[in-house]
């Protein structure tokens, strides 16, 4: 059975605010911020449960042989023990590591967790990978490919990010080279591209985020399929600044005005927009998806629209009644 390693990574039990040029903080009062990793428990556990049910278990249902590695950051010994007991009791043969300090950049952090996953498994050769932030509360099963879909697709499939960014605060939706900026809270990497992905992380290890990943990918692997969105549309990558159909952050709720925290109403055309494209072509030469037509076989970047959860999934989670946040469906915390 084809294998995939799910790497749950990043800061957990977060609270506090970001200050300075980067949000990567090393503790309260640090030069980079006031964010700490010993904050409230309930929503972080809710995030763990959602990742297990809507990513890990869902991939298993799709036909993948799933291995889970949890590699997170918390300065609190008590919180570290809570992380270890939670995952050890729920996922067999789970790789577990809790680091006391965060990496210098997001790229450095992903290099570290991939290295740790490789040590846990012995080798990542032939494995796909899903890297997902540990503080994501997922709203729906992630629409990722089945093993046979990856095998049938030319060049072994495509890297997938959540969606293209809307840019709520600065209005910027494109990279300097005219490619879509991508939300980077999780990333799916097919086995055929994992080595290329790791090399690109190394080349850009000083970058604070991967919003411009499409530029890096096209420059490094020009003949490979372009990265794709999991869902169509433009959304803010930070759920505290605007609604998106896939996730929210634990302990960070949306506080923006003008209805940005709720699902858009009556904006079907905007919700269906698909900014992925291979180059900056004129309107007459854009792929059919951008002109409202049927998908063309050569168009590589069309993700499915947000889907309703299946009835059995809704039934399985009917007991969940966490604190309400406008515009999303929560999972339970027991």
Q: What is the pLDDT of residues 147-163, one digit of tens each?
A: 988 777 766 789 999 99
pLDDT at 171: 57
Give the mean model confidence (pLDDT) for residues 82-96: 93
How buried is residue 269: exposed, middle or buried, by Cβ count under 10 Å (0-12/13-18/19+)?
A: exposed
Give the mean model confidence (pLDDT) for residues 128-147: 96
Share of the chain above pLDDT 70, in %: 68
**Euclidean distance between CA atoms 286 and 224, whole angstroms:** 20
User: What are 127's strand-pairing partners?
Assistant: 3
Residues 191, 126: contact at Cβ < 8 Å? yes
Q: Is the predicted pLDDT of residue 131 greater than 80, yes or no?
A: yes
pLDDT at 241: 84
pLDDT at 14: 80
Residue 289 pLDDT class (50, 70, 90 cuts): very low
- pLDDT per position as a tens digit, 224-267: 889 999 999 999 888 888 889 999 999 887 777 666 787 876 44
Give the mean model confidence (pLDDT) for residues 24-34: 42
Domain 3-316 top-level CATH class: alpha beta
Residue 190 pLDDT class (50, 70, 90 cuts): very high
Residue 104 pLDDT class (50, 70, 90 cuts): confident
Residue 318 pLDDT class (50, 70, 90 cuts): very low
pLDDT at 135: 94
CA 312 to chain centre: 24
pLDDT at 288: 38
pLDDT at 260: 73
Instruction: Identify the weakest region by mean pLDDT among 101-105, 154-158, 189-193, 209-213.
Output: 154-158
Q: Is the predicted pLDDT of residue 130 greater than 60, yes or no?
A: yes
Share of the chain above pLDDT 90, in %: 47
pLDDT at 204: 94
pLDDT at 240: 84
| 75 vs 190, more confident | 190
Q: Is the predicted pLDDT of residue 300 greater than 80, yes or no?
A: no
SS (H, E, C) the chain: CCEEEEEEEEECCCECCECCCCCCCCCCCECCECCECCCCCHHHHHHHHHHHHHHHHHHHHHCCEEEEEEEEECCCHHHHHHHHHHHHCCCCCCEEEEECCCCCCHHHHHHHHHHHHHHHHCCCCCEEEEEEECCEEECCCCCCCCHHHHHHCHHHCCCEECCEECCCCCCCCECCCCCECECCCEEEECHHHHHHHHHHHHHCCCCCCCCCHHHHHHHHCCCCCCCEECCCCEECCCCCCCCCCCEEECCECCCCCCCCCCCCCCCHHHHCCCCCCCCCCCHHHCCHHHHCCCCCCCCCCCCCCCCCCCHHHHHHCCCCCCCCCCCCCCCCCC
Read off the pTM.
Answer: 0.74
């Amino acid at each position: 059975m084809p294998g995939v390693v799910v790497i749950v990574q990043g800061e957990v039990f977060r609270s506090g605010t970001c200050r300075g040029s980067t949000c990567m903080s090393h503790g309260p009062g640090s030069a980079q911020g006031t964010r700490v990793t010993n904050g409230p428990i309930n929503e972080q556990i809710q995030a763990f449960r959602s990742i297990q049910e809507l990513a890990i278990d869902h991939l298993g249902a799709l036909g993948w042989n799933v291995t889970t590695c949890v590699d997170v950051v918390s300065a609190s010994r008590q919180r570290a023990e809570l992380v270890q007991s939670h995952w050890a009791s729920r996922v067999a043969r789970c790789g577990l590591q809790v680091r006391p300090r965060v990496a210098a950049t997001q790229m450095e952090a992903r290099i570290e967790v991939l290295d740790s996953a490789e040590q846990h498994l012995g080798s990542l050769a032939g494995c796909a990978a899903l890297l997902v932030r540990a503080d994501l509360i997922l709203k729906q099963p992630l629409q990722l490919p089945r093993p046979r879909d990856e095998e049938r697709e030319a060049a072994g499939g495509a890297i997938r990010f959540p969606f293209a960014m809307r840019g709520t605060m600065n209005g910027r939706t494109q990279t300097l080279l005219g490619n879509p900026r991508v939300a980077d809270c999780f990333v799916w990497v097919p086995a055929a591209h994992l080595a290329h992905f790791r090399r690109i992380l190394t080349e850009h290890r000083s970058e604070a985020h991967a919003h411009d990943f499409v530029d890096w990918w096209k420059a490094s692997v020009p003949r490979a399929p372009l990265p794709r969105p999991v869902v169509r549309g433009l959304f803010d990558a930070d759920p505290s600044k605007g609604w998106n159909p896939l996730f929210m952050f634990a302990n960070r709720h949306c506080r923006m005005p003008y209805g940005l925290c709720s699902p858009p109403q009556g904006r079907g055309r905007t919700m269906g927009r698909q900014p992925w494209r291979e180059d900056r072509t004129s309107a007459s030469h854009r792929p059919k998806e951008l002109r409202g037509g049927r998908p063309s076989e050569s168009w590589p970047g069309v993700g499915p629209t947000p889907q309703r959860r299946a009835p059995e999934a809704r039934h399985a989670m009917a007991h969940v009644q966490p604190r309400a946040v406008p515009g999303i469906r929560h999972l339970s915390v027991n």
